[in-house]
């Protein structure tokens, strides 16, 4: 017989089972202030930034590589470029701090959106959780794009479209305005793991997959949202001038590679660098040689009779551009 | 008691089902991707094409998909259009305008350039106007919308002739200087001539109150900019036009928003989108100029590896009627004959 006493035992179990079985209830609260973990492996990219022609580890195509080789840092000194923001698939590796909060329906308390305020360039993105469609192909693109989210168990999966042209590596390697980014947000205690998978039909051969960790800041008032940017005149330029290197004339191409005793090819990126087999190829490539265009000219040849003049041309020092040219004097 | 429990369980089930329905969940999220910007289709089935109508900002809307983009300004005073699209799409454009602005009179049409994609429906759409044209400078066509273009545009249409472009497409209201001012729907509208750009008769339209610029074809989100050299177009005119746009646009916050830009084709943009496009066109021009300075022939320039347009081809080499090679060749001929 079904008694009230049995009911008091069974009903909570049924309720608990029902609630547990519904994925929608398995949501994680990302609310709070989060700080970037700059000690992680991506620290250099978050802080000082990459060198010129440091395209390693990016599954880019040859056109993206050419874009990077033509890039001249002076382009960012143009007034309209100075306040250019890191696009959404890059900004999580900037000098990053974020506040996340939820927007819920005041009556039903259903989740409408998750908001992420990012202090880098005062960005604010909205991740719509109400199932709304993405905008028309003719709608404007923004730095943060248009994002919608779904829960996959305890993981939040976000799809972002309508992002402006930006970069996959700061300043050098372009991302087009037709890229799409899928993010996965996972929380483990006070650590937020942010995983992004970006596809770009114009500049990536394979998806670019990145991950970063952020730490929860226990002080909810620690978020500084202000990152003003106002352009200034940086030197005089002819109207409409756009700094760039003509093909084959990037004088800094080998600097990074040579400084780190790397083959030139290794710094130029490409999908093959995603795989461990590339290490075998790396061992067979010669280390790059860099000729510093700002180096002092070679020291004058020592007077005849002290041995130097007898050396065959180019036989001293060996490095192009006169490096070590005076070494012969100690012969 | 059983009824109570059953009711309670049913209520919980309904509630949970409601949550599940409202909260996006699931292991297989739909494959949503950013759409590629595409040029107008080749040999289209006109009956199957639809227009896309979007608010831009202030009083300005965009009608896309009828050829070149059409800007629509709406207010108590009536409707102002920038360009008209292809003639074959005119019925759908008129329907879209009537939906946006029922019972408003089409008063003014401004043309930005020569191509059919921008002026093809002029003759049909001016008939939607109902103006008693009594004032000076409004042409001699009563009960039509006022059709405005630069004098250079009228000169081109006249030269091409009425056999190819019916007279009703010609702008009876012209200006020959650098600009022409209007006041429409409680905001200043400035028409700026862009000399020798896509053609010798180009203009851009600046809605100063709504803070929107319609650029015409100097800015094209789906292709390299078209240069109609036969009708006076030049690469340096295109670049100068893009620099003009950069001068009048003001971003709202960190190089985003603020003045919105309607390109000749493709999505709505802002200053930064124009900036990247200007950079690209300038860099390509500089490369071709450097080759000319080195006395390279056109054949040698076309054989260059990488090509002058190389890194921009995945994004902009999409129009079979205006390929990267055609663009480079036109630039080469243009710069080679420059005085």
Q: To the nearest whole percent, how much of chain B has pLDDT over 70?
A: 87
Residue B299 burial (C-beta neighbours within 10 Å; 0-12, 13-18, 19+): exposed
Instruction: Please report which confidence band the pLDDT of residue B28 belongs to, taking 50, 70 and 90 as the band edges.
Output: low
The helix or strand, by DSSP H or E, that contains position B82, with its residue range, turns out to be: strand B78-82
Q: What would the mean pLDDT of A56-75 be, rounded to a whole number?
A: 96
Chain B, window 19-48: residues with a beta carbon less than 8 angstroms from a chain A beta carbon: 19-20, 22-27, 29, 32-37
Residues 6 or more apart from A39 whose CB is under 8 A from it? none
Give yes or no for A299 touching B (CB within 8 A): no
Q: What would the mean pLDDT of B5-23 be, rounded to a whole number?
A: 49
Sign of CA dihedral B266, B271, B273, B279: positive
Q: Report which of residues A21 and A292 the model is more confident about.
A: A292
Backbone angles phi, psi at B270, to 5 degrees: -140, -170
Residue length of chain B: 339
Token pair for residue B2? 């059983």
- Residues in B closer than 8 angstroms to A63, CB to CB, are 310-314
Q: To the nearest whole percent, how much of chain B has pLDDT over 90?
A: 85
Is 80 exceeded by the pLDDT of residue A299? no
* Mean pLDDT across chain B: 91
Extents of the domains making up chain B: 46-279
Mutate: best of A132, A143, A240, partner B, most B CBs <10 A: A240
Q: What would the mean pLDDT of B164-168 be, rounded to a whole number?
A: 95
What ipTM was estimated for this complex?
0.90
CB contact under 8 A, A66 and B270: no
Q: Where are the alpha helices (DSSP H) in chain A?
A: 4-21, 43-46, 62-70, 88-91, 255-259, 278-284
Chain A, window 18-77: residues with a beta carbon less than 8 angstroms from a chain B beta carbon: 18-19, 22-25, 27, 61, 63-64, 66-67, 70, 75
Mutate: best of A138, A151, A250, A268, partner B, most B CBs <10 A: A138
- Residues in A closer than 8 angstroms to B13, CB to CB, are 18
Kindly report, residue by residue over A154-203, the tens digit of the pLDDT.
999 999 999 999 999 986 899 999 999 999 999 999 999 999 999 999 99
Instruction: Please report which confidence band the pLDDT of residue A312 belongs to, taking 50, 70 and 90 as the band edges.
Output: very low
Give yes or no for B49 touching A (CB within 8 A): no
DSSP symbols for A152-176:
ETTEEEEEEE-BPSEEEETTTEEE-
Give yes or no for B254 touching A (CB within 8 A): yes
Is 60 exceeded by the pLDDT of residue B219? yes
Structural domains for chain A: 32-49+73-217 (2.40.128.20)
What CATH topology corresponds to B46-279? Metallo-beta-lactamase; Chain A (3.60.15)
Residues 6 or more apart from B33 whose CB is under 8 A from it? A161, A180, A199
Min distance A179 CA to chain B CA atoms (Å): 6
Count H helices, E strands: chain B? 10, 13
Chain A, window 265-294: residues with a beta carbon less than 8 angstroms from a chain B beta carbon: none
């Amino acid at each position: 017989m079904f008694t009230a006493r049995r009911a008091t035992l069974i009903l909570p179990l049924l309720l608990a089972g029902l609630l547990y079985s519904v994925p929608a209830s398995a949501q994680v609260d990302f609310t709070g202030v989060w700080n970037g973990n700059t000690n992680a492996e991506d620290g250099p990219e978050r802080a000082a930034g990459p060198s010129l022609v440091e395209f390693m580890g990016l599954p880019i195509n040859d056109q993206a590589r050419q874009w990077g080789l033509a890039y001249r840092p002076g382009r960012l000194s143009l007034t309209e470029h100075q306040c250019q923001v890191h696009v959404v698939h890059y900004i999580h590796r900037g000098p990053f701090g974020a506040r996340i909060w939820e927007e819920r329906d005041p009556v039903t308390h259903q989740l409408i959106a998750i908001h992420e305020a990012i202090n880098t360039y005062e960005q604010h993105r909205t991740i719509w959780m109400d199932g709304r469609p993405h905008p028309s192909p003719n709608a404007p693109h923004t730095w943060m794009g248009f994002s919608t989210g779904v829960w996959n168990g305890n993981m939040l999966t976000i799809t972002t479209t309508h992002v402006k042209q930006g970069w996959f590596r700061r300043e050098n390697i372009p991302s087009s305005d037709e890229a799409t980014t899928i993010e996965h947000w996972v929380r483990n205690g006070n650590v937020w793991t942010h995983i992004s998978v970006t596809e770009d039909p114009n500049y990536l051969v394979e998806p670019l997959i990145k991950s970063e960790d952020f730490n929860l800041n226990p002080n909810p008032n620690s978020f500084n949202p202000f990152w003003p940017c106002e352009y200034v005149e940086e030197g005089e330029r002819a109207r409409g001038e756009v700094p760039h290197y003509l093909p084959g004339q990037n004088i800094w191409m080998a600097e990074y590679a040579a400084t780190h005793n790397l083959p030139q090819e290794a710094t130029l990126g490409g999908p093959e660098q995603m795989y461990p087999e590339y290490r075998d190829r790396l061992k067979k490539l010669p280390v790059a040689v860099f000729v510093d265009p700002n180096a002092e000219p070679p020291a004058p040849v020592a007077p005849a009779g002290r041995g130097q003049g007898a050396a065959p041309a180019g036989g001293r020092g060996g490095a192009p551009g006169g490096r070590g040219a005076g070494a012969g004097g100690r012969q | 008691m059983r009824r109570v429990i059953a009711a309670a369980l049913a209520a919980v089930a309904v509630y949970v089902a409601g949550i599940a329905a409202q909260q996006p969940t699931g292991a297989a999220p739909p494959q949503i991707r950013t759409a590629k910007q595409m040029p107008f289709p080749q040999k289209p089935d006109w009956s199957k094409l639809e227009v896309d109508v979007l608010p831009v900002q202030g009083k300005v809307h965009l009608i896309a998909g009828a050829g070149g983009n059409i800007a629509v300004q709406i207010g108590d005073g009536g409707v102002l259009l920038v360009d008209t699209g292809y003639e074959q799409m005119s019925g759908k454009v008129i329907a879209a305008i009537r939906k946006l602005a029922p019972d408003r009179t089409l008063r003014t049409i401004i043309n930005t350039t020569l191509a059919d994609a921008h002026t093809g429906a002029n003759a049909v759409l001016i008939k939607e106007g109902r103006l008693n044209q009594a004032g000076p400078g409004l042409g001699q066509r009563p009960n039509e919308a006022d059709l405005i273009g630069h004098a250079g545009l009228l000169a081109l249409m006249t030269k091409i002739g009425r056999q190819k472009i019916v007279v009703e497409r010609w702008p009876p209201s012209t200006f020959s200087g650098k600009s022409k001012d209007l006041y429409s729907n409680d905001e200043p509208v400035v028409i700026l001539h862009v000399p020798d750009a896509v053609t010798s008769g180009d203009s851009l339209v600046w809605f100063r109150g709504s803070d929107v610029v319609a650029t015409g074809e100097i800015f094209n989100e789906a292709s390299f900019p078209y240069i109609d050299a036969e009708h006076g177009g030049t690469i340096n005119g295109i670049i100068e036009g893009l620099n003009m746009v950069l001068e009048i646009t003001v971003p709202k916050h960190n190089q985003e928003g603020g003045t919105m830009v309607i390109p000749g084709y493709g999505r709505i943009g802002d200053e930064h989108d124009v900036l990247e496009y200007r950079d690209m066109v300038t860099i390509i021009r500089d490369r071709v100029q450097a080759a000319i300075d080195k006395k390279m022939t056109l054949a040698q320039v076309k054989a260059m590896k990488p090509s002058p347009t190389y890194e921009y081809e995945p994004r902009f080499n999409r129009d079979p009627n205006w390929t990267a090679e055609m663009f480079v060749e036109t630039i080469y001929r243009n710069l080679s004959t420059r005085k």
